Homo-oligomer: A and B are copies of this chain.
Amino acid sequence: MKNSFGNHLNVSLFGESHGEEIGVVIDGLAPGIHLDMDFINAMMDKRKAKGRISTQRKEGDEIHIVSGYFNGYTTGTPLTILIHNTNTRSGDYEKTKNRLRPSHADYTAEAKYLGYQDYRGGGHFSGRLTAPIVAAGAIAMQVLNEKKGILIGSHIAECHGIKDTLFSSDESTLKSEIEKMNASDFAVLDKDIAEQMHRHIEEAANIGDSVGGILESVILHMPVGVGEPFFDSIESRLSHLLFSVPAVKGVEFGLGFDFANHYGSEVNDAIIYDQKEHRVKTATNHNGGINGGISNGMPIRIRTVIKPTPSIYKEQDTIDKETHEAVKLQIEGRHDPAIIHRARIVVDAVLALGILDLLMERDATLSMFNRT
C-alpha cells in the first residue's frame, strides 16, 4: 500500500517538505461527524516546533479541508486535508545536496528513486509529512472518544537516560493522567523530570547534538475481542503504523523485552472477575491488554523508542554521492535537537487511526454515525 494504509479507513499521504502542499485523503469516515476544529488544531499545535528545543523552522500548519466536509459535517466521501508549505528555505540544501547525510534517507532515497526524489529538506521523508498524519489522527481520536469512550495518550518515559514515572495501573488515575498529558505541550508525568529533560535537550542543542527517548503509550477502554490471530494481531497492525513514524526503531507491548528476564509463573496475568463492573479483568497487565493478538479489555500498553534526530550540527564523515569521495559534512538548515516531544503526538495519531480502522472491522456504528 506504499503511502496508504487501512482496511476500512483508507488513509493516503502525500507531499514533500519543500513542495507546494502536503496532505492526506481519508476515505471511509462515517457521514455526520461534526469535526471539533479546536481539538484538531490543538493537536496540530502540539506537533509544532516551539522554543529552543525544536527547529527554528516555524510553520503555520493551517489545515485546509477541500473535500468530504459539507455544512459542518463529514459527508462520508473522501475527506481531503491540505497543508500549505510556507516557511521553506530550500537554499540551505543546495550547497550540501551531494553530501549524503548519515542516518538520513538520502542514500536510500537516491537508490530507490534513482536520483529523481526531491532532496530539499528530506523531501517526502521529512518529518513535515507527519503534520497531515496528526490531522487525520485527531479526527480518529475524536471519533473514538465520542463513540466508544476510548482514550489514547502518551508521555516521554525516557529521554537520554532521564526517566519519568510510569502510567498508573489504576484505570481512573490513568484516565486523568492521559487527559493531563493530552493537554500538555511537553508530555511528562513528573514536573521535575519534565524540567530536567527540557534542560537536557537544550544542552544537547548547545553542543550541536541531539537526543532520543522512549514513549509510553496507553489505550484506555478498549473493547474486548478486537484483532485477529496471526497476521492481523493488534500488535501487528499497531506496530506496522508505529514503525511508519520517522525515527521509531523499536516497539514493545506490555512487559515487552523485559519478558526475557522472567519465569512464566511471574508474568502470567491471573484472570479475575470484577463484581462491580461486571467484567473480566486480569490481576496484572504484563501482556499489555492483548492475548493471542486480540484485546482483553485491559489498557493496551505500548513503548516506542525514538532515535536521536540524525540532523546534528557537529561535523560528520560521509561521501559525495557522485564522486564517492570521502567528505566532511557540516549540516546547515534548521533542525530539532530532539523530536520525541513532537513525535509523541504523531504516535498518538497513528494509534488512533489504527484502532479506529480495527474497530470498524466489526462495528457498524462507527461507519454509520447516527445509528446506534
Contacts and interface: CB of A to CB of B under 8 A. Distances in A.
A299 interface: no
A76 B316 contact: no
Contact of A231 (B13, B100, B228): B13
Interface residues of A, number: 162
Interface string A353-372: 00000011111111111111
Contacts of A4: 4, 10, 12, 27, 231
A105 B229 contact: yes
B308 A267 contact: yes
Contacts of A296: 107-108, 111
B240 A249 contact: no
Given A211-B264, A261-B160, A264-B209, A273 B243 contact: no
A252 interface: yes
Given A76-B116, A243-B239, A368-B143, A16 B70 contact: yes
Nearest to A237: B240
A98 interface: no
A95 interface: no
Give this chain's copy count: 4
A153 interface: no
A250 B7 CA distance: 24
Interface stretch (A37-45, A183-191, A285-293): A285-293
A68 B22 CA distance: 10
Given A14-B25, A231-B1, A108 B367 contact: no
Contact of A292 (B125, B257, B286): B125
A348 to B, nearest CB: 17
Q: Name the residue in A103, A111, A371 with the highest tally of chain B Cβ atoms < 10 Å from its Cβ.
A: A103
A315 to B, nearest CB: 9
Contacts of A3: 10, 27, 77-78, 228-232
A212 B210 CA distance: 35
Given A77-B16, A280-B319, A368-B363, A103 B267 contact: yes
Given A30-B369, A74-B116, A361-B367, 20 more contacts: A2-B10, A2-B232, A3-B231, A12-B27, A19-B67, A21-B82, A68-B124, A76-B117, A77-B124, A108-B296, A112-B226, A112-B294, A147-B371, A161-B260, A210-B264, A239-B240, A239-B242, A250-B257, A268-B316, A272-B319
